[in-house]
Amino acid sequence: MSRNNANWIITAQCPSKLGSVDVVTRFLKEQQCYINEQHTFDDKCAKRFFIRSEFQPQREDFNPAAFRDAFSLRAADFAMSFELTEPGYRVPVIIMVSKTDHCLNDLLYRHRAGKLAIDIKAVISNHALLEPLVAWHGLPYYHFPVSAQNRAEQERQIWQVVEETGAELVVLARYMQVLSAEMCHRLAGRAINIHHSLLPGFKGAKPYHQAYDKGVKLVGATAHFINEDLDEGPIISQKVEVVSHADYADDLVDKGRDIERLTLAHALSCYAERRVFLYENRTVVFSR
């Protein structure tokens, strides 16, 4: 398939205004672009409009720079921000991890198998334990130990890798350190975290064992953008699974890890396919 026959993606958002769908679809028609998938949502509370269109240019001389320039003039009348993503784009990603490897393993496999539109630039950890696994995949591994005394320096090292690699997204794949407020601000809208979602909630050490002691009937996971409030950032994806009295603590751990893997991969896939919109402290996520 030639580049011009592959799917491009345009995503946009603006204040709710009459004609906000038309300004996108009419322009695509005028540019001789065939829309093969489209999602829209108007948030009545926020008075905010969101749109995502996948399209195929029908002209051989399709010029993305000219497309952006021309659409910018139309979008200005709606105070509309937009992004054009070319076919085959792979999001530059850095993965951060501590000792637990189930989410990292899953992302490394999906990356190697071409199941996610991401380009893993490096893996960063506060432990050296997982370096052989990452080396087997032929990826750079940075070991930055952290303590209360060197946390600021360690985060400077992390940020240096982010800048040098040009990473668009940082994935906290069970990275068991709390990032500083400054780091959270720097990574606002650019970092996704995964954690368990047990009902009721259990914090601290061994949450699945606490859940077993209380006889929980649901385990789950939440993937979200990070912010200064621990595990309370804008949510991208959540999944749950029913469990029973026959599931022991170790069973809950295993099922919880499976859900964490799937939830993180789903969130990352939605992000890479430009299905996630962030506005203030909420997300709009169009289905795949």
With b for 16 or more beta-carbon neighbours within 10 A and e for fewer, the 215-226 pattern comes to ebeebbbbbbbb
Q: Give me the residues paired with residue 120 across strands.
A: 93
Instruction: For residue 231, indicate whether it is catalytic.
Output: yes
**Helices 207-214 and 249-272, packing angle to 10 deg:** 120
How far is CA 223 from its chain centroid? 8
- Distances 203 to 79, 210, 230, 267 between C-alpha atoms, Å: 42, 9, 11, 23
**Which positions ≥6 away from 138 have C-beta within 8 Å?**
none
**101, 119, 231, 254: the active-site residue:** 231
CA distance linking residue 102 with residue 1, whole number of Å: 35
Task: Determine contact, residues 130/97, Cβ cutoff 8 Å.
Answer: yes
Integer-rounded Cα radius of gyration of the chain: 21
Coil, strand or helix at 269: helix
Location of structure tokens 């998938």: 37
Two structure tokens written together for 257: 């890890």
Q: How far apart are the first and last CA of the chain?
A: 22
Q: How many residues can be counted in the chain?
A: 288
**Catalytic residue ranges:** 231
